Amino acid sequence: MTAGVDEVALIPLRERVRSALVERAGMSRRKATMAVLLSGVFTVSFTITLLVVVLDTVATDLGSTVSVVSWSITAPMLAFAVIGPAFGTLGDLIGHKRVFVGGLLGAGIFAGLAALAPSAPVLILLRTLSAACGSATGPSAMAFTNRMFEPHERVRPLGMWSFVTAGAPVIGVVAGVPLVELVGWRIIFLVQAPLCVLGALSSWWLLRDTERQDDARFDAAGAFTLGGGAALVLFGVNRGGTWGWTSPVVMTAIVSGVVLLCVFVQVERRVAAPMVPPQWFRTRNIAFPVLSQSLANFAYMGGFMIIPQMLKDGIGLSLATVGWLIIARPLTFAVAAPLGARVTMRTGERFAGMFGSMTVFTSMIVLSTVRDSTPMWLIAFGLALSGLGLGVASPALSALLANAVNDSELGIASAMQQLVSQMGALLGATVMISVQEATMEQGTLISYSNALVVGAALCVVAGLLAGEVRSTERAPTQ
């Protein structure tokens, strides 16, 4: 009996200790929780930029090609997109604290193993497993954030969220490129691993768990058909330019992928707990924000993948110069996101979404004109426009989606948003690389311009979709 009483008594004691330490540090509980969540998100995202910059170095070291090693980015993004909804549902079932902590811990373990990868296939596998675990942080952290803030308050914390997700690549480039040149690319993962483990420990100590929903279910059939279909289509598009579009392997992969995606649509209409509830895509403030973000990410991530290679191979810039130049994009994103949140609270999400999409469009057009004689400031300006556009649009449209669903649906809604946005980014990276490779005979720089124009065209559609949303009504100011 005494043991039971002591165990119960320890719970408020631990809570009082945590609260006292937080107050002593001069932080509110919400600020402390956001700091832990954003730190966790930082640890799973800061390596992305570095991999893009050093793809050719990794390929040489592992005796492979850039086209193959690029799957160390593409495959993790696919896993991040498809498995994310599973963690959203799992968080609803067992609590988002456990999912967030477990995701960080798994990401750290596999990142450490990736540092020892002996070949390209092993690196791709370990990076994919690390990203699969890391995908738990997105839906869980978003569920925490949306539960802590009222609908009219959500743009500001989501702006900080975007600030961190964009700032992580900046720090990665500034600190990482010199390290990579000095020590080698494996240092990326040797740094990431302990940061993930440290983040898991601090999250377990500070975070309070969320309520659990016994009726949550995971759509296994939907995850299998979507993941398999997307992987096959992306593989076919990726290999089409190299093996030929009439290659039996390429044609089989694309046709099989399309068939699986059609099956996915049918599955989602029939299962009790779909990954992507079909009725949501008949809701204005869910369908249009998500699709607009997806298409803007198509251009953003496609440009993210090809511009470093364009600057290095197309106009002959050094690796260090490319690293410093591409900072302009995530740095502008990081600055624009919190400032854009203030603008959104005055002008509404509709304006922010349209402005963001068309700014990314302008960025694609400016960068498509890059030639040997183009001044550095114009290249940096074009990159900065891309970061500005997504930095303004992303938090606004994310907040709009969160406000359009019930609080009990925030986990699956966040996971669905992550899924669709990542699929857009994956398609952008794969399609724009394929366009560049398929038009190489026109000239190196012209081939990159062709790919960027494709991204620009999708931004126009993203802007039109953003124009169809209805902005959230704001609470009257006092």
Query: 86-102: per-residue pLDDT in tens?
Result: 777 777 778 888 888 99
Q: How confident is the model at residue 8 (pLDDT cuts 50, 70, 90)?
A: very low
- The answer to whether the predicted template modeling score (pTM) of the entire model surpasses 0.75 is no
Q: Cβ of 3: how many Cβ atoms within 10 Å?
A: 7
- Note the pLDDT tens digit of each residue in 128-163: 899 889 888 877 887 787 777 776 666 677 667 666
Show the beta-strand stretches assigned E in 263-380.
Answer: none
Q: What pLDDT score was predicted for residue 174?
A: 62
Q: What is the mean pLDDT of the chain?
A: 80
Residue 166 pLDDT more than 90? Answer: no
Q: What is the DSSP letter of 314?
A: I
R_g (Cα) of the chain, nearest Å: 22
How does pLDDT run across 426-444, given as a tens digit for each residue? 788 888 888 888 888 898 8
* H-type alpha helices, 272-348: 284-309, 319-326, 328-347
Of 418, 362, 407, 423, nearest in space to 387 by CA: 362
pLDDT in tens, 240-284: 766 777 888 888 988 998 999 899 888 888 887 777 777 887 888
- 20-218+273-466 fold: Growth Hormone; Chain: A; (1.20.1250)
Rounded (5°) CA angle 285-291-296: 120
Q: What's the confidence (pLDDT) of residue 255?
A: 92
Q: Which residue has the higher pLDDT, 400 or 62?
A: 62
* pLDDT band at residue 218 using 50, 70 and 90 as cut-offs: low
Q: Show Cβ contacts of residue 454 under 8 Å, excluding neighbours closer than 6 positions.
A: 302, 431, 432, 435
pLDDT at 473: 67
Q: What pLDDT, on a 0 to 100 scale, did the predictor assign at position 454?
A: 95
The Cα 135–Cα 80 span in angstroms is: 5
Q: How confident is the model at residue 404 (pLDDT cuts 50, 70, 90)?
A: confident
pLDDT score of 172: 65
CB-based burial, 391-401: b 16+ in 10 Å, e otherwise: bbbbbbbbbbb
CB atoms within 10 A of CB 369: 13
Closest by CA position to 320, among listed 50, 73, 72, 43: 50
